[in-house]
Amino acid sequence: MIDRTGGPRRTVITAAALAEPAASLSGYTIGVTADRRRDELATLLEGRGARVVLAPALRIVPIADDAELRAATRACLDTPPDIVLVNTGIGMRGWLEAAEGWGLAEPLRAVLSRAYLVARGPLARAAVRSAGLHDQWSPEGEGYEEVVDHLTARGIAGLTVAMQLHGERQPEYTEALENAGARVIEVPVYRWAPPIDAAPLQRLVDLITARLVDAVTFTAAPAVLALLRAAPDVDAVLDAFRSDVLVACVGPVTAAPLRRHDVPIVAPPRARLSALVRTIVDELPQRAVSLEVAGHSLTLRGHAAVIDGELRPLAPAPMAVLRTLAAAPGRVLSRAALLHALPRGADEHAVEMAVARLRAGLNAPGVIETVVKRGYRLPV
């Protein structure tokens, strides 16, 4: 289910259903920051049982009529590049479509066919080949550093390199190519712009800092920067990413801004959405906390508990109490101690209500034990 509200879905999934691959992410909430192909990614995650929060961090704005793109295209026609770096599939297609509108498609295709074409990833390669062109090389890890190392090793002094930009300039790589003696033509095919509605992104930031999402996916490095810019407290977001919220990036280029902040990330070996989902499926269940409590098997999965093989989604407050108790198994925690797990402004009566709702949601007598005049515990 794609959920824009974050409210729990009151369902029970049996142990047999949990064993199915389609339920491998049941109980988990995952934020999706992509704009393009967001529905495809959300559907893949939902098909595995996840609750999905859609929050595009950026949107792509084509610039087919932009003077900079037309000037870059004319520069490529006037001084045909020896090497062309194709960074994205959408960028390559957009460039050719824009040239078509200017009546320059065939001259541009002819120039590209004579160049040494580097496709940075499978989507870029597919766009090159669908245009009837042939790419000569692709980096194994799809990173800019590999491209720069490969080209400088070939020798590019005195050569012209056309670099199709990935939404924004990459000055460090342009400078590296220029320092190796190349003349670089930057080709800006599209730009990133803020989302039309910023509320979903702001809400995702709140969910991250409150640890109410279990993972966040990124498919472009600018989306990482946009989410951090949207955060009132960047350190709180980074702290969540370093501890409780899994960060899944489609590839090393996307992950680079987070690595600079020492955020651990997971990424698939190849930059594909299906591989990204498989990586999340492999990683998230390993983070689940499992306990034997009062003769019951209890596992915490995101916004749900699996009690004796049955998945039982819980509201945020009962789930927060359960996580706090599970972090101190067997220990008695006072109402005052549990109060810290609830939203600000709650009182000890709210703790009692959350415990009552937790017991009702688990429907497993004895799992939440009351210790008179002291508090509550999980009798592991």
DSSP 327-338: TSTT--B-HHHH
**Is residue 6 in a domain?**
no
Please, is 224 exposed, middle or buried when counting C-beta atoms within 10 Å of its C-beta (0-12, 13-18, 19+)? buried
The per-residue pLDDT for 3 is 46
* 79 and 99 co-located in one domain: yes
**Is residue 245 in a domain?**
yes
State the residue range of the domain holding 188: 61-192
* 294 and 283 co-located in one domain: no
* 132 and 45 co-located in one domain: no
Count the domains in the chain. 3
Q: Which of 162, 192, 222 is the last residue before a domain boundary?
A: 192
* 20 and 74 co-located in one domain: no
CA 265 vs CA 2, 9, 223, 251, 280: distances in Å: 24, 28, 15, 10, 11
The per-residue pLDDT for 345 is 65
Strand partners, 190: 62
Are the CB atoms for 273 and 37 separated by under 8 Å?
Answer: yes
Asked whether residue 362 carries a pLDDT value surpassing 70, the answer given is yes
Q: What is the mean pLDDT of residues 156-181?
A: 90
* 258 and 154 co-located in one domain: no
Asked whether residue 143 carries a pLDDT value surpassing 80, the answer given is no
Are the CB atoms for 220 and 56 separated by under 8 Å?
Answer: no
* 365 and 266 co-located in one domain: no
**Is residue 368 in a domain?**
yes
* 149 and 115 co-located in one domain: yes
Residue 171 sits in a domain whose CATH number is 3.40.50.10090
Residue 301 sits in a domain whose CATH number is 1.10.10.10
**Of 110-124, 281-295, 338-352, 359-373, which range is least confident?**
338-352
Asked whether residue 142 carries a pLDDT value surpassing 80, the answer given is no
Asked whether residue 12 carries a pLDDT value surpassing 70, the answer given is no
* 98 and 185 co-located in one domain: yes
Give how far the C-alpha of residue 219 lies from the chain's centroid of Cα atoms, to the nearest Å: 6
* 75 and 188 co-located in one domain: yes
pLDDT tens, 321-344? 999 999 999 999 999 999 988 877
Q: Which of 287, 306, 335 is the last residue before a domain boundary?
A: 287
| Better-scored residue on pLDDT, 123 or 304 | 304
The per-residue pLDDT for 173 is 87
* 295 and 212 co-located in one domain: no
Asked whether residue 261 carries a pLDDT value surpassing 50, the answer given is yes
Asked whether residue 110 carries a pLDDT value surpassing 90, the answer given is yes
Q: What is the mean pLDDT of residues 124-153?
A: 89
* 259 and 371 co-located in one domain: no
**Mean of the per-residue pLDDT values for the chain?**
89
Q: Which of 242, 260, 287 is the last residue before a domain boundary?
A: 287
The per-residue pLDDT for 5 is 40
The per-residue pLDDT for 275 is 93
* 43 and 70 co-located in one domain: no
**Is residue 93 in a domain?**
yes
* pTM as predicted: 0.77
The per-residue pLDDT for 64 is 61
pLDDT tens, 239-250? 999 999 999 999
